[in-house]
Amino acid sequence: MTFRDYPDRDLMFLSVANTIAGQLADFLRREGKATLSVPGGTTPGPIFDILAAVELDWANVAVMLNDERWVPEDSPRSNTALLRHRLLTGKAAMAQLVPLYAPAPQPEDRLAELAEGIAPHLPISVLLLGMGADMHTASLFPGADRLEEALAPDAPVLMALRAEAAGEPRITLTAPALKGAMHTHILITGAEKRAALDRAAGLPPVQAPVRAVLDNATVHWAE
Ligand SMILES: O=C1O[C@H](COP(=O)(O)O)[C@@H](O)[C@H](O)[C@H]1O
């Protein structure tokens, strides 16, 4: 793991967005396409704002979420809505959204077709992850009903999980899909998450799911 701390959040957002844009540009130059996978939640919005204004061949960038809360897009909890409003706009409006949600009562109802949609866009070129103070990343929550399966090396790319702390049912990329990414960045803010990251480094992934992706990640932190 590489750890970078920043004097303030604005500097961190700018620097991480700049790094991601550079890595995407490299993929586009070498392969003509790239996949960017990103978190939802409260932390990444400013990075999305910066990226949306960057000049890139966005039409050849597939953008997907690492995980989604099983709520319709008009819910304030929808990670897809966040993506549409903050990232897939401006210069990035041409990017291709790979959906992680489709209307249905339960994620299992649409899991197979959503996984099929993701498959052509793997491995992920650039992965940006968030982390909760409980050490969950994507929707791999400690105590989730199928966490051990989702952490296993032979896990399917996408799974539906439920955890008390998660609120609604979740759909999430599993550990092997996340670990297959070519570049991995974890974005965290505040003292509580920094302490959680330190704790996670000494715990097994089943207790601290973020541990599953730490080895090859660059962690970006600002107070
Ligand atoms: O529920 C989620 O939480 C994590 C962390 O979110 P934050 O609000 O603490 O930044 C996020 O990475 C994940 O994508 C999201 O679904």
Structure tokens at 58: 């966005």
Atom of ligand 1 nearest to the CA of 42: 8
Instruction: Write out the residue range of the structural domain in which residue 126 sits.
Output: 2-222
Three-class DSSP category at 159: strand
End-to-end CA distance of the chain: 19
| Helix or strand run (H / E) with residue 151 | helix 147-151
Low-confidence ranges of the chain (pLDDT < 70): none
At 164-220, the pLDDT tens digits run 999 999 999 999 999 999 999 999 999 999 999 999 999 999 999 999 999 999 999
User: How far is the C-alpha of 107 from the C-alpha of 166, rounded, in Å?
Assistant: 14
Looking at residue 182, its pLDDT comes to 98
pTM to 2 decimal places? 0.98
Atom of ligand 1 nearest to the CA of 131: 5
119 C-alpha to ligand 1 centroid (Å) = 23
Nearest alpha-carbon partner for 125 in 213, 64, 194? 64
Q: CATH number, domain at 71?
A: 3.40.50.1360
Nearest alpha-carbon partner for 101 in 82, 86, 124? 82
- The CB of 169 under 6 Å from ligand 1? The reply is no
Looking at residue 185, its pLDDT comes to 98
Minimum CA distance residue for ligand 1 atom 9:
132
127 C-alpha to ligand 1 centroid (Å) = 14
Looking at residue 135, its pLDDT comes to 98
Looking at residue 201, its pLDDT comes to 93
Minimum CA distance residue for ligand 1 atom 12:
130
165 C-alpha to ligand 1 centroid (Å) = 12
Domain count for the chain: 1
